[in-house]
Amino acid sequence: MRSHANGKNVDGLIDYFDSHVKIILKRALVSSCGFENHWFLITMACFWFLGPNGGAVQLNNKMQELFVTGGAGFIGSAFVRTLLDETDWHITNFDALTYAGNLDNLKDIDSSRHHFVHGNITDAGAVLAALPEGTEAIVNFAAESHVDRSITSAAEFLQTNILGTQVLLDAARARGVKRFIQVSTDEVMGSLPEDENAYFTEQSAFAPNSPYAASKAAAEHLVRAAHHTFGLDTVITRCGNNYGPRQFPEKFLPLAISNALNEDPIPVYGDGRNVRDWIYVDDHCRAIMLAMEKGKSGAVYNVGARNERRNIDVVGSLLDALGKPRSLINFVKDRPGHDRRYAMDPRLIESELGWRPRETWETGLKKTIEWYQQNTRWIERTRSGAYQDYYRAQYGKEVSAT
């Protein structure tokens, strides 16, 4: 096992040298200042450890066997990549490969530490059969995740997001899994007023507005109940809108990028002034890793990069970055019950776990756009077949398959 600080990746090396430089500087300060300056030293030490770079993930190596569900989807596959890259842990990746699950998302990963199992989380027998002996933690990403689809039909959302979560909780208890991580969403807390300085905190009341959000809220209640009633060690993370490579192009940002690349019109719901709180997917994954390792049992952590943007401004930024005209923007009928604004207060995860995002909106958007530009074959595959039917039903028009 090796620690994150000794990792083979560049970030790991930077952290490694960063921590050694800190030790040398601290020793120099101690020898030059004497004990009368201990307050100065304490302040400096706090600054180093809690400052923006001091929030880098410092994983220990206690956990070795993880059971990840939904790891062939957008965030789950990013989590699998990050974890394999930054630790020596072994992952069993359990995924039903719905329309959103894609084995291409797991290409080129270290297969010696990753075992894929095709299965459905609503199937208790399949979950128990796949769950390795001695699993340290279950991280539950598996879900139906698209709000528009939940408005068209809620049944799958209730099956997977609610019943599936209960099956996993039961399996965790039956097998003595040490910790259960539920990947949840800011949408369980409903919508914030547009013009007020209001933010979602961990204490905000539940007010889910779509069938998707209601199903994720129900799942959170079940996780809470498993902790309260049976003493299961659980942690819930709630995050805002993720963006990055490999996001299925039903979601706004990849839909807008792939349409723009094909010069297809970009559908913007309503007046385009709805606000979302955007976070680069790897930053979300590192927050989950930290919560899994160091989060308090029974806790909820809000994850957000303080990056609120109106939809119309998001499209504007990416059209500018791609050198495409604003005339591609096409205002369409609003989403029913469309939440106006999401905005996270991430102070708890920052102060308690030392988490900080590494990407800014500018660097994250650049990486995302470049990935889609370089992976046209991936877009082509995801936009063929059933996607065309979905698009026609949702938007009442055709879209290029390539």
**Smallest separation (angstroms) from ligand NAD to the CB of 187:** 8
**Smallest separation (angstroms) from ligand DAU to the CB of 145:** 4
Residue 280, amino acid: Y
As a whole number of angstroms, the distance between CA 14 and CA 348 comes to: 26
**CB 138, CB 174: distance < 8 Å:** no
- Is position 82 an interface residue for ligand NAD (rule: CB under 6 A)? no
User: In terms of Cα–Cα distance, which of 145, 138, 211, 141 is closest to 177?
Assistant: 138
Query: Which of 15, 136, 148, 186 is the catalytic position?
Result: 186
Using CB under 6 A, pick the residue from 146, 149, 324, 341 that binds ligand DAU: 146
Q: According to CB under 6 A, which residues from 174 to 213 bind ligand NAD?
A: 183, 185
- Alpha carbon of residue 266 to chain centroid: 24
Using the contact rule CB under 6 A, the part of the chain among 171-179, 180-188, 280-288, 379-387 near ligand DAU is 180-188
- Is position 382 an interface residue for ligand DAU (rule: CB under 6 A)? no
- Is position 391 an interface residue for ligand DAU (rule: CB under 6 A)? no
- Is position 331 an interface residue for ligand DAU (rule: CB under 6 A)? no
Catalytic (active site) residue 380: no
Using CB under 6 A, pick the residue from 5, 66, 139, 143 that binds ligand NAD: 143
Opening angle at CA 228, ends 187 and 355, nearest 5: 50
- Is position 147 an interface residue for ligand DAU (rule: CB under 6 A)? yes
Using CB under 6 A, pick the residue from 5, 59, 91, 96 that binds ligand NAD: 96
- Is position 55 an interface residue for ligand NAD (rule: CB under 6 A)? no
Using CB under 6 A, pick the residue from 87, 122, 135, 259 that binds ligand NAD: 122
Select from ligand DAU, ligand NAD, none the partner in contact with residue 268, using the beta carbon and a kind-dependent cut-off of 5 to 8 Å. ligand DAU
Catalytic (active site) residue 36: no
As a whole number of angstroms, the distance between CA 319 and CA 329 comes to: 9
- Is position 145 an interface residue for ligand DAU (rule: CB under 6 A)? yes
Using CB under 6 A, pick the residue from 57, 68, 75, 289 that binds ligand NAD: 75
Burial class (CB in 10 A: 0-12, 13-18, 19+), 141: buried
Select from ligand NAD, ligand DAU, none the partner in contact with residue 269, using the beta carbon and a kind-dependent cut-off of 5 to 8 Å. ligand DAU
As a whole number of angstroms, the distance between CA 371 and CA 282 comes to: 14
Query: Tokens 């399996």 — which residue?
Result: 171
Using CB under 6 A, pick the residue from 15, 86, 136, 187 that binds ligand DAU: 187
**CB 87, CB 64: distance < 8 Å:** no
- Is position 99 an interface residue for ligand DAU (rule: CB under 6 A)? no
Catalytic (active site) residue 195: no
Using CB under 6 A, pick the residue from 82, 241, 302, 394 that binds ligand NAD: 241
Using CB under 6 A, pick the residue from 86, 95, 136, 186 that binds ligand DAU: 186
Catalytic residues: 186-187, 212
The footprint of ligand NAD (CB under 6 A) covers 69-70, 72-76, 95-98, 100-101, 120-122, 141-145, 160, 164, 183, 185, 216, 239, 241-242, 248
